[in-house]
Structure 1
Amino acid sequence: MHHAETYFKLISSYDASKLRLTKIDDEIYEDFTTTFPEIDVTHLKEDDFKSTAAKDKWRPWINKYEKRVNEYNFGSLLRIDPAQDYTEANTMFEMGFLAYRGV
């Protein structure tokens, strides 16, 4: 978890409302919340991303950004509960980018 701790320290030292990882963060976030209103970003569930039904919805959504996001093929470490620190029990790995907005 050393990389996650370093990443967390980096993003925690900056005002998250001003942090931009891509030029289209706001568009991605708006699209995410519109497409996945059922996902509670204050407490993520692996089934929201990794169940068969979720994958069927997730893949077409994320594929829209393949040519627009340089980090398209990167994975993301997500805190299941964003109010808690990165720990093994509070972290899941998801393939594909996610804009930082508490997601």
Structure 2
Amino acid sequence: MENYENAEGLEMSWATAAIGFADRHWELLTGLPEVKKMRVTSADAELYAAFRAAFPDLTVGVIDEEQMKSKEGKAKWRAFLDGFVKRYVEDDYNFGTLLRVDSRGKYEETNTTLVPRGQFYVIEIARNLEGFNDEV
């Protein structure tokens, strides 16, 4: 079996892009007077409705990483992302993105997890609309 490794430059490029995206998101969250009005995508309403239909009981304030990243959780999220979100954020819906685990905290090593960008989008849309990002 061949051993595949990412080139160090590729990993550094990904990390730089992910941190830059997180920094821009944090600047928006902390700089806007009314986060509920912040648009994450051009299809926030559709994405939110589909997200809540697929995940009606998911609490977005504090993410349960174990549940989300369990075999069942991954399968449910993958079906949702591939079946719906992909239509709205086609270019980068699967790009690795940092997500704050606890919406009350900032981006730091102990409060982030890696998710596909489509998952980040729908969770942050829900956090905005449901008031979880108001505390930031």
Query: The TM-score by the shorter chain falls in which range?
Result: 0.7 to 0.9
Percent identity reads 31
- Pairs aligned (count): 103
What does the per-residue CA deviation read over 1:27-84, in whole Å, with 9 as the maximum and x for residues that have no partner?
1112112211232111101123211001111111111222321432223321111011
Identify the structure with the greater helix proportion. 2
Q: Distance in 1 between matches of 2:24 and 2:43?
A: 24
Query: Residue 95 of structure 1 aligns with which residue?
Result: 116
- Compute the TM-score of the two structures, normalised by the length of structure 1: 0.81
Q: Which has the larger radius of gyration?
A: 2
2:31 matches 1:24: no
Query: Residue 106 of structure 2 aligns with which residue?
Result: 85
Query: Residue 86 of structure 2 aligns with which residue?
Result: 66
State the superposition RMSD in angstroms. Answer: 2.2
Gaps of 5+ in 2: 1-17, 129-136
Q: Is the Cα contact below 8 Å between 1:39 and 1:48 reproduced in 2? A: no
TM-superposed deviation, 1:2 = 5.3
Residue type matched to 2:113 in 1?
Answer: M
Residue type matched to 1:52 in 2?
Answer: K
Gaps of 5+ in 1: none
Match of residue 38, structure 1, among 57, 61, 80: 57
2:29 matches 1:8: no
